[in-house]
Structures are given as C-alpha cells and as structure tokens.
C-alpha cells in the first residue's frame, strides 16, 4: 500500500510536502517524495490532504480495570472474567488509535495471557508490555492486588518473582495514591534504599523500572534511585526536576486520570475527590515545569481508573497541550518518545524497517491537537499494515479486514 497525497508526521517531525509512505508485508519499506514511487503499480491510499502518523503509544494503562471504579478485588477475583475484560479493554484501546501500551499493574498475571495473545496475533489487540504485580510496602498503595515487600532484600525477591513470571518492566509504588483509601499522597512509602534495591535488580535483568510517585519526597526518592520513569509526578519542585534531568528520567504525567475525576465528582469517593482537587493544578504545573526544563515526557493516560475508560486514551495529548506543550512535542511524547521508554525499537516512528503501526487522522494535528486526541477524527487505525478500526474501515476496497 502506498500512502500518498497528504501530510506525513514521522514521530519526530513533519515530512516535507509531497512525501509518501510505502508499506509491504506489514513493514514500512520506504518514505520519500512521491515522484520516487512513479513506477509503483500496487494499491494506493489517497490521504486527501489528511495526516498519516505512527500509531499512538500509551505508557500507562490498567487492562484489568475498566474505568467503573471497581477494584479487581471487588470482582471476587473471578480470573476468567477479569481476563476477558482485559482483552476487551485492550481491543477498545486499539480501536482508539493506540497501537502499543504498557500495563502498569495487573491482577495475578492474567494480563500476561492477554499480552501473549495479542502480541502473537492470536487475538487482535495492541502490542503490549506488562509490569506484573505492583511492588508495594505493607499497607501501601495497591497492597490488596500487589506484591507486598518490606526492606531491600524483600524488594529484590519481589522483583525476581515478576521477572520469573515474564514481566517486561518493574513497577514500584513510591507514594500514596489519589484513589487508594487510607493513604496520604504527600507521604513517601518506600525508602531510597528499598527503591535502589528494586531498580538495581530490574536493571540486572535488563528491565526498565517505573515508580508510582505523586508527592514530592517520593518523586525525589525514586529519581535518586535511578528509576527509568516517574509515573504521575504530580508535585514536582526544582530539586525533583534537577535530579530527574541529571538521571535522564522520563515523566509519564497521566493527566487524564485526574481530569476525569474532576469531571465526575458524583462517581468518586469524597476522600479521593478531595485529594484530586488538592493536586490537580499542581499536576499541570509539574508537566509545564518539566517540559520547560527539557525533560523527557512520555504519554500515559492511566486508563482503567475511575471514569477513565479504555479507548479514550488519546485525549491525554490534549491535556498535555493544555499544560503548554506544543502539539508536535505532545505527538512525539505519544509516539517516538513513548517507544524509547518502552524499548520498542521498531515502533513509534514512520521509518524504513519499522512495523507499520499507523494512524490516519483528519486535518493537521501539528496545528490542532484534537485531530489526533479525539477519536472521531481518526479515519483509520492500522496495525502491522492491516486496517483494524476507524471511520473508513469498510470504505477502502484495497484493504481487507484483519484476519
């Protein structure tokens, strides 16, 4: 398929006017000026002036949660039901233009089966990375479904357990959470020594690490420990930013989670609502602060949390732009930078040899981010060269349905 007559955003920059992209057998074979393809006689897709870009990548989802506010424990650990819900959530995510995700904490490893089924092509879904059980202190955030570990040696053991089960990364809980009852978001939960133990053991087995960190002290502890990414990073200060820049830490803001709470006060427990209101403005300021400082920001919408359903992940782009990010930088956060964080060497960009996970959107998202953040503007979602979702799936005769 030759994609022509439109704008091309390659995951880092806008290609010059008049460029086209050639896909063969699910791989991007060439990108260049349209005259370079004058001898091509295969099927063509007329972009009609719209934009072809990489499929979006969400670095923070919870496939075993469905945005209804029910924790997995409330489902009485019906693992069959949770697994099917996780698969459905993954497929909704793909339909929303997200072609790769990282699950940042599941339930009894059922999301591993969903990952394997989607990544192998057995079931349609995004490419998935998983962290396994979150690692937390006694009584800490997500302790009911996480792996409780106290002290450096127990943390090391917990990391090894996740690696033994086949995780792609390690998730450490450094602070309390907005939606976790009985926790204070300002208080750190793990010590620097415990975090260092977890991060070091993850690195020993070539796994990146992510730290749930909302309050400033917990962020600083996790950054000092060398964690690969700070998830949420809600209350940054100059010290935290300085350490993160020095360490090359990624920030995954998850703004959508807080914004959806604020939009749905009737659905949120009062204590969580109070915490959300307390830090919402700080969250936006923290993104602006890290962006202005030149820090690496990767898109993550925290989908699955209350009132934050799968399939609407892309609206995180608009929230980032609302914090002062340029549309092009928000798009990079959701494509090439996200791919770097997840160590996806052949995804997140339109370049020869890369997998053809792509998104066609109406208009120009480099000038109007809603072209990419709102799913009604998604013309076609393409996974591995095959069209899988979008407004035009049935109207393109050169394509065939996936499978």
Look at the chain and report how many structural domains it folds into: 2
For residues 168 and 132, the answer to whether their CB atoms sit within 8 Å is: no
Same domain, 377 and 331: no
Same domain, 166 and 314: yes
Query: In 3D, which of 191, 188, 316, 195 has the Cα closest to residue 252?
Result: 316
pLDDT at 311 > cutoff 60 = yes
Position 76 scores a pLDDT of 58
Same domain, 45 and 77: no
Residues in contact with 76: Cβ distance below 8 Å, sequence separation at least 6, in sequence order: none
pLDDT tens-place string over residues 1-37: 999 999 999 999 999 999 999 999 999 999 999 999 9
What is the C-alpha to C-alpha distance for residues 176 and 154, in angstroms, rounded to an integer? 20
- Is residue 400 included in any domain, yes or no? no
Q: What is the mean pLDDT of residues 222-233?
A: 98
SS3 sequence of 284-305: HHHHHHHHHCCCEECCCCCECE
Residue 272 pLDDT grade (very low, low, confident, very high; cuts 50, 70, 90): confident
pLDDT tens-place string over residues 323-353: 999 999 999 999 999 999 999 999 999 999 9
What is the C-alpha to C-alpha distance for residues 117 and 115, in angstroms, rounded to an integer? 6
Per DSSP, helices labelled H in 70-173 are 79-95, 110-119, 152-165
Instruction: Indicate the pTM of the whole model.
Output: 0.94
Q: Helix %, strand %, coil % for the chain, to 5? A: 35, 20, 40
pLDDT tens-place string over residues 381-393: 999 999 999 877 7
CATH number at residue 176: 3.20.20.140
Same domain, 284 and 248: yes
- Is residue 205 included in any domain, yes or no? yes
- Which residues are 58's β-sheet partners? 101
pLDDT at 274 > cutoff 90 = no
Same domain, 352 and 207: no
Residue 69 pLDDT grade (very low, low, confident, very high; cuts 50, 70, 90): low
Same domain, 114 and 219: yes
- Is residue 237 included in any domain, yes or no? yes
- Is residue 388 included in any domain, yes or no? yes
Q: What percent of the chain has pLDDT over 90?
A: 84
CATH number at residue 363: 2.30.40.10
Range of the domain at 46: 2-54+347-395
Same domain, 11 and 145: no
What is the C-alpha to C-alpha distance for residues 7 and 31, in angstroms, rounded to an integer? 12
Same domain, 102 and 159: yes
Residue 184 pLDDT grade (very low, low, confident, very high; cuts 50, 70, 90): confident
């Amino acid at each position: 398929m030759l994609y022509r007559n439109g704008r091309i955003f390659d995951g880092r920059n806008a290609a010059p006017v008049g460029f086209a992209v050639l896909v063969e057998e699910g791989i991007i074979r060439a990108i260049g000026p349209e005259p370079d393809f004058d001898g091509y006689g295969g099927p063509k897709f007329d972009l009609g002036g719209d934009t072809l870009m990489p499929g979006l990548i969400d670095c923070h989802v919870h496939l075993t949660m469905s945005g209804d506010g029910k924790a997995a424990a409330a489902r009485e650990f019906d693992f069959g039901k949770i697994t099917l819900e996780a698969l459905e959530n993954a497929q909704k995510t793909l339909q929303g233009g997200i072609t790769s995700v990282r699950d940042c904490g599941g339930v009894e490893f059922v999301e591993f089966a969903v990952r394997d089924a989607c990544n192998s092509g057995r079931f349609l879904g995004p490419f998935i990375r998983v962290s396994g059980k979150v690692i937390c202190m006694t009584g800490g955030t997500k302790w009911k479904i996480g792996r409780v570990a106290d002290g450096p040696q127990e943390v090391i053991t917990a990391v090894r357990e996740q690696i033994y089960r086949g995780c792609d990364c390690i998730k450490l809980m450094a602070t309390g959470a907005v939606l976790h009852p009985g926790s204070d978001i300002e208080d750190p939960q793990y010590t620097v020594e415990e975090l260092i133990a977890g991060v070091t053991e993850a690195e020993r087995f070539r796994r990146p690490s992510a730290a749930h960190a909302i309050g400033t002290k917990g962020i600083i502890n996790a950054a000092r420990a060398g964690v690969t990414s700070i998830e949420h990073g809600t209350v940054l200060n100059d010290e935290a930013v300085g350490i993160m820049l020095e360490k090359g830490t990624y920030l995954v803001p998850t703004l959508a989670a807080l914004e959806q709470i604020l939009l749905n006060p009737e659905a949120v427990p009062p204590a969580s609502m109070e915490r959300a209101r307390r830090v919402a403005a700080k969250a936006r300021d923290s993104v602006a602060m890290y962006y202005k400082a030149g820090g690496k920001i990767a898109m993550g919408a925290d989908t699955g949390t209350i009132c934050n359903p799968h399939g609407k992940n892309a609206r995180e782009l608009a929230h980032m732009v609302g914090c002062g990010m340029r549309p092009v930088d928000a798009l990079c956060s959701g494509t090439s930078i996200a791919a770097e964080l997840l160590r996806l060497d052949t995804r997140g960009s339109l370049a020869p040899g890369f997998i053809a996970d792509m998104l066609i959107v109406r208009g120009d998202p480099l000038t109007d981010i809603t072209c990419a953040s709102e799913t009604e503007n998604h013309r076609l979602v393409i996974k591995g060269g095959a069209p899988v979702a979008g407004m035009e799936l049935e109207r393109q005769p050169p394509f065939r349905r996936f499978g």
